[in-house]
């Protein structure tokens, strides 16, 4: 059987037309003289109505034998029916079972019986059949589509960079080592060094949407060990310039999803609030003061704890930037101010709940960059491939990275980051 329509392509105005739909047996209800088979496809539900006195007996027997979540194709006549999903029902002339589902099911797909997150992730293929879960990932698709649309419009070139590397991107020990033939290699923490190389290469503005890997031993609702990062790098722009690009991007994504994702937002019961431009700017010093005034135990020079982020976010109440960070707690490639080298041109973009992005104007002078690498306790010789690109004409440049999962979960008010990842990777979960 060949599908002719998805559920949302059929309208009541197609009354008396013949169509073929394919999907899963969502529900089967026998009410005596009438029987209903609800078929679910990617776009919604189709009510198939069988009047027992009028329907072909073979068709009726096939439907009676269908188990929930079996894969079926139904050919039938469209009949206008205001009480049915989408305002129509289908009167079948043929029903074929293409894949029989065993009983009992590992979890309920109708939404009537809830399952805990671990159960859902263990059988993610089944969880994806729930309207709520499908809606989250349709919105994730729109989010990535809108980001590409915005960055393409702003003159950025999409690139892909290696995920297997010989050297840590940012130093530290949060790396997953792997065996690479006779050598040790690592899964990349970030495309940072490679996108900077493209500034030397002359691409001028680049972006990448791809996986990053952090071997951090977190076990929280906002951390993953494999995440999707949205990264840009741009030549001849300073830190403020790329902050404007970032806030405009976030505003654009919210507007795009509010306009194009209405059906999925409705399925989730979510009404998103478009963040207002420009985002508020706080210096690091001002942020520390807010946290301390709110009773947090934090000192100037400390990185922000989760509690401090929550405290500051509650005070600000909207998206905001924290700027002018201490140089020693930001990566070596963040450019210090000439007149205040203890501070650098780094920034974090914050949602009231958590950090979404970090970025900076980069060091583009090769001697200063080598000094910064050494000052942070790293071996500059391990960065030869990177430093070489700075010797032959590197323009001033800036960039940032945004966590796709955090951007989506904060937009939708979702509490656990694993909800917005198809197959999460964390300290405990490596399968499926």
Q: How far apart are CA 86 and CA 106, in angstroms?
A: 29
340, 201: one domain: yes
Tokens of 311: 């405290």
- Distance between CA atoms of residues 93 and 59, nearest Å: 7
Structural domain containing residue 264: 131-279+318-420
Model pLDDT, residue 381: 87
**Beta-bridge partner residues of 165:** 186
Q: Mark residue 394 as left, alpha or beta (left: phi above 0; alpha: psi -120 to 50; beta: remaining).
A: beta
CATH number of the domain bearing residue 368: 3.30.930.10
> Among candidates 349, 347, 346, 363, which has minimal Cα distance to 397?
363
pLDDT of residue 168: 66
Q: How far is CA 233 from CA 63, 191, 237, in A?
A: 57, 10, 9
Residue 104: asked if its preceding bond is cis (omega within 30°), the reply is yes
CB 32 within 8 A of CB 60: no
* Residue 344 sits in the same domain as residue 242: yes
- pTM summary value: 0.94
With b meaning 16 or more CB within 10 Å and e meaning fewer, what string describes 311-320? bbbeebeebb
pLDDT at 364 over 70: yes
d(CA 20, CA 13): 16
Last residue of a domain, one of 53, 79, 99: 99
Q: Which of 369, 365, 370, 371 is nearest to 394 (CA)?
A: 365
Binding-site annotation: residue ranges: 170, 214-216, 222-224, 355, 358, 362, 403-406
Domain boundary among the residues 81, 99, 117 is at 99
Does 92 share its domain with 167?
no
Structural domains counted in the chain = 2
Read off the pLDDT band of 362 (50, 70, 90).
very high
pLDDT of 391 above 70: yes
- Answer yes or no: do 170 and 78 share one domain: no
In a shared domain, residues 238 and 146: yes
Give the domain-ending residue among 44, 75, 99: 99
What confidence category does residue 174 fall into, taking pLDDT thresholds of 50, 70 and 90? Answer: confident
Q: Are residues 57 and 172 in the same domain?
A: no
The reply to whether 34 and 166 lie within a common domain is no
What three-state secondary structure class fits 72? strand
Instruction: Note the pLDDT tens digit of each residue in 237-278.
Output: 999 999 999 999 999 999 999 999 999 999 999 999 999 999
The residues that bridge with 210 in the sheet, in sequence order, are 229
285-331: pLDDT as tens digits: 999 999 999 999 999 999 999 999 999 999 999 999 999 999 999 99
pLDDT on residue 218 = 86
Looking at 1-5, 159-163, 233-237, which range is the least confident one?
A: 1-5
Residue 383, φ and ψ in degrees, nearest 5: -115, 25
In a domain, 242, yes or no: yes
Strand partners, 75: 20, 94
Whether residue 359 lies inside any domain: the answer is yes
Give the confidence band of 170 by pLDDT, cuts at 50, 70, 90: low
Higher pLDDT, 232 or 216: 232
Closest CA to 426 of 217, 133, 230: 217
For 27-73, what is each residue's pLDDT tens digit?
A: 999 998 999 999 999 999 999 999 999 999 999 999 999 999 999 99
Domain contains 353: yes
On whether both 268 and 370 belong to a single domain, the answer is yes
Q: What percentage of the chain reaches a pLDDT higher than 90?
A: 93
Distance CA 19, CA 193 (A): 54
Quick check: is 87 in a domain?
yes
Q: Can you say which residues are annotated as belonging to the binding site for ATP?
A: 214-216, 222-224, 355, 403-406
- Domain annotation covers residue 363: yes
> Are 93 and 135 found together in one domain?
no
Q: Tell me, yes or no, whether 201 lies in a domain.
A: yes
Annotated binding residues for Mg(2+), written as ranges, equal 355, 358
Residue 296 falls within a domain, yes or no? no
Helix (H/G/I), strand (E/B), else coil: 60: helix
What gap in Å lies between CA 126 and CA 128, rounded to an integer? 5
Nearest one of 125, 67, 90, 117 to 17, comparing CA atoms? 90
CATH number of the domain to which 41 belongs: 2.40.50.140
Residue-wise pLDDT tens digits, 110-154: 988 989 999 999 999 999 999 999 999 999 999 999 999 999 999
Q: In this structure, are 266 and 339 located in the same domain?
A: yes
pLDDT tier at 78, thresholds 50, 70, 90? very high
Per the domain annotation, does 406 fall within a domain? yes
**pLDDT score for 39:** 97
Considering the domain architecture, whether residues 135 and 231 belong to the same structural domain is answered as yes
Looking at the structure, do residues 149 and 13 belong to the same domain, yes or no? no
- Quote the pLDDT of residue 68: 97
Share of the chain above pLDDT 70, in %: 98
| Binding-site annotation, residues for L-aspartate | 170, 214, 358, 362
- Predicted local distance difference test score (pLDDT) of residue 85: 87
């Amino acid at each position: 059987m060949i599908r002719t329509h998805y559920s949302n392509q059929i309208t009541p105005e197609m009354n008396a037309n013949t169509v073929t739909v394919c999907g899963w047996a969502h529900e089967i209800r026998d009410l005596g003289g009438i029987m209903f088979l609800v078929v679910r496809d990617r776009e919604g539900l189709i009510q198939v109505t069988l009047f027992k006195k009028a329907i072909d007996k073979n068709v009726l027997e096939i439907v009676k034998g269908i188990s929930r979540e079996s894969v079926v194709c139904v050919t039938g006549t469209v009949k206008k029916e205001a009480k049915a999903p989408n305002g129509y029902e289908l009167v079948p002339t043929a029903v074929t079972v293409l894949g029989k589902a065993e009983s009992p099911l590992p979890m309920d797909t109708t939404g009537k019986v809830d399952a805990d997150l671990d159960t859902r992730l263990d059988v993610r293929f089944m969880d994806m059949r729930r309207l709520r879960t499908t809606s989250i990932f349709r919105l994730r698709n729109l989010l990535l589509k809108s980001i590409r649309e915005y960055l393409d419009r702003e003159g950025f070139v999409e690139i892909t960079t290696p995920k297997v590397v010989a050297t840590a991107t940012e130093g530290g020990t949060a790396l997953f080592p792997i065996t690479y033939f006779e050598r040790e290699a690592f899964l990349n923490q970030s495309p940072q060094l490679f996108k900077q190389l493209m500034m030397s290469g002359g691409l001028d503005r680049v972006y990448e949407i791809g996986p990053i890997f952090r071997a951090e031993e977190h076990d929280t609702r906002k951390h993953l060990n494999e995440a999707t990062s949205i990264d840009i790098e741009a030549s001849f722009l300073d830190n403020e310039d790329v902050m404007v690009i970032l806030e405009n991007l976030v505003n654009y994504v919210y507007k795009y999803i509010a306009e194009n994702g209405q059906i999925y937002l409705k399925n989730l019961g979510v009404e998103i609030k478009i963040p207002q431009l420009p985002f508020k700017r706080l210096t690091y010093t001002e942020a520390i003061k807010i946290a301390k005034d709110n009773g947090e135990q934090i000192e100037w020079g400390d990185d922000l704890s989760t509690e401090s982020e929550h405290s500051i976010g509650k005070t600000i109440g909207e998206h905001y930037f924290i700027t002018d960070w201490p140089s020693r707690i930001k990566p070596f490639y963040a450019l210090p101010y000439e007149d205040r080298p203890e501070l650098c041109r780094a920034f974090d973009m914050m949602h009231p709940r958590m950090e979404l992005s970090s970025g900076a104007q980069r060091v583009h002078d090769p001697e200063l960059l080598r000094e910064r690498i050494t000052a942070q306790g790293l071996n500059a010789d391990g960065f030869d491939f990177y430093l070489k690109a700075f010797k032959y004409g590197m323009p001033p440049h800036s960039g940032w990275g945004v966590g796709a999962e955090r951007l989506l979960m904060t937009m939708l008010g979702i509490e656990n980051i694993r909800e917005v990842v198809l197959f999460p990777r964390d300290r405990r979960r490596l399968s499926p």
